[in-house]
Chains A and B, each alone.
Chain A
Amino acid sequence: MKISKKVVLTFPQSLVDKPIVFHLIKDFDLVFNILRASITPREEGLMVIEISGKEDDCKKGLDFLKSQGVNVQPLKKDVKWIEKKCLQCGACIPICPTQALKIDRKTMAVSFDEDKCIACELCVKPCPARAFEVRLY
């Protein structure tokens, strides 16, 4: 069965200059999409990726990463929309790159689709009500 999974990878300093993610494609036949990456030489690296492939390939691939010393954690809700705080203004709508934040053009009601969110955080600071919370794993 094919699955798709979002994970947060933290690379220790010793691994930052090694081409580890490459092996996910070559050895485990996985497709991956980098959602966010922050890699600084001589420091820790952080990468949020979405991997898709056969279920057991995904597991093997992630086990491989762990064996190399990469810290692997599932990405749950990285950005949380606090509906109660939302003013329903829609300032976030043109900012969201994936349309995870949507507005019903008839009622002008704002909604948030967690599954579409790539945790880019572009919406967080421009929100006048600060109705988004970032949870880093």
Chain B
Amino acid sequence: MTKQIRTIEEINEKIKNGKVVVVTAEELIDLVEKDGIEKTAKKVDVVTTGTFGPMCSSGLFVNVGHTKPKIKIQKAWLNGVEAYAGLAAVDLYIGATQIPDDDPANKVFPGEFKYGGGHVIHDLVAGKDVHLEATSYGTNCYPRKKLSTLLNIKDLNEAFLFNPRNAYQNYNVAVNAGDKTIYTYLGVLQPKLANANYCSAGQLSPLLKDPFYKTIGLGTKIFLGGGIGHIVGAGTQHNPDSPRTSKGTPKRGSGTLCVTGDLKQMDPKWLVGVSMLGYGTSLAVGLGIPIPVLSADTVKWAAVKDEEIFAPIVDYSNDYPNAKPDILGEVSYKELKSGKIKLGKKEIPTGSLSGYSKALEIANTLKNWIKSGKFTLNSPAEKIPGPESGIKFRLLNERPVKNGDK
């Protein structure tokens, strides 16, 4: 990284004095075009980013409070959606993609998946009552075996999001090279490459703006679900070892973040349960990260434009389900956002699963929070591992289990 020009402590001092200069990543692009990198780096203290899209690896821990007499919950359901209860007595974890036990799923294909874990989280944050059912086997210290009650977020001891993988740094563009319609987590894909779906905020997307994870890490304060959250560290499947452009921007799905935050101060507008036809449920998460301008390099990286960010086109009819690494080509976010891309001679209309206008709203909200003094920056206590870490994405190495093996 180029020479450090300011510290996070200095930025916080400026936030306190109301003198901080904050711009969104979109505004930064214009500034750099006008004034160049060095001058912009001197002027701007913080760049805000944002993204709003389905993030399946999201979920919520709750502590529902003890009953009288007490129960050690063994199985639990919230509005009919099972929550994991293999923790202490009344701690539960509900994941975004869990569906009700009696959901027909894909028995009538494609399944509609009208309600699941993501919707439960949305209902809770929206202040709606949720039906908790629980069963147990009973012990001396926890004799109760059954429970059925309404729950409201305001009565819960704790409710915090814990999302093991959010804010994917870049993502696949999904197409269908097969000859029948397929239903994926990236939407409905018509046969013979009739449409292409992508899912990234591109030039506003947090990790695409700090491609080597130089300014963020454990403890970084962020916009999460309309409230304040924190980065825990690299998320699951974090893969810094992907091909990059000359400016360092990954050209494949790459880094990821694990994030957490108190649900009680979040907003249902930014945590929305989604239903993917033929696939399942998920949770659309609004997430924004402030990037402190610590050096001219921060600006160089954060100012990459949609035309400089490339995503791989992947065939979801064959290559993706069979875990083949092949791609059909690369395409820039500028092309994707134009509404059509070219693959060979074929022109393919594009659709998105990530809301760019909403991502911009997040970046602007975060900017206003910082400018108003209500949001300061945290120095990360641990960094996110970069390409130098040697971390690689692994497939499961399946091994045969012999009879009698334990």
Contacts and interface: CB of A to CB of B under 8 A. Distances in A.
Given A90-B352, A91-B187, A128-B274, A107 B112 contact: no
Interface in A80-98: 85, 87-95
Interface residues of A, number: 21
B112 A87 contact: no
A23 interface: no
Contacts of A126: 187-188, 277
A2 interface: no
Contact of B351 (A87, A93, A109): A93
Contacts of A130: 114, 275
B358 A87 contact: yes
Interface in B305-359: 337-339, 349-358
User: What class of interface size applies to chain B in its complex with A?
Assistant: 20 to 34
A37 interface: no
State the main secondary structure of chain A at its contact with B: loop
Nearest to B355: A88
Contact of A94 (B338, B350, B358): B350
A91 B275 contact: no
Contacts of A128: 54, 187, 274-276, 282, 284, 353
A91 B338 contact: no
A31 interface: no
B339 A129 contact: no
Nearest to B52: A87
B275 A94 contact: no
Interface string B357-390: 1101000000000000000000000000000000
Contacts of A75: none
B339 A87 contact: no
A89 B349 contact: no
Nearest to A108: B356
B337 A129 contact: no
B365 to A, nearest CB: 15
Contacts of A88: 52, 355-358
Interface string B151-179: 00000000000000000000000000000
Interface in B104-141: 110, 112, 114
A128 to B, nearest CB: 4
A89 to B, nearest CB: 5
B351 A95 contact: yes
Given A87-B52, A94-B350, A125 B337 contact: no
A49 B110 CA distance: 29
Q: Which one of B337, B351, B358, B360 has the highest number of Cβ atoms from chain A below 10 Å of its Cβ? A: B351
Given A87-B272, A108-B337, A129 B353 contact: no
Interface string A83-125: 0010111111111000000010101111000000000000001
B256 interface: no
B274 A87 contact: yes
B197 interface: yes
Contacts of A125: 110, 112, 277
Q: Which one of A85, A93, A109, A128 has the highest number of Cβ atoms from chain B below 10 Å of its Cβ? A: A128
A134 to B, nearest CB: 13
A15 to B, nearest CB: 32
Interface string A53-78: 00000000000000000000000000
A79 B53 CA distance: 24
Contacts of A91: 187, 197, 351-353
Contacts of A92: 351
A54 to B, nearest CB: 39
A121 to B, nearest CB: 13
A56 B45 CA distance: 68
A94 B351 contact: yes
B195 interface: yes
9 contacts: A88-B355, A89-B53, A89-B354, A90-B355, A93-B349, A94-B339, A105-B339, A126-B188, A130-B114
- A-B complex: 4 closest residue pairs judged by Cβ atoms: A108-B356, A88-B355, A128-B274, A94-B349
Interface of A: 85, 87-95, 103, 105, 107-110, 125-126, 128-130
Interface of B: 52-54, 110, 112, 114, 187-188, 195, 197, 272, 274-277, 282, 284, 337-339, 349-358, 360
Given A89-B355, A91-B351, A95-B195, 12 more contacts: A88-B356, A91-B352, A94-B195, A107-B360, A108-B337, A108-B352, A109-B357, A126-B188, A128-B282, A128-B284, A128-B353, A129-B272
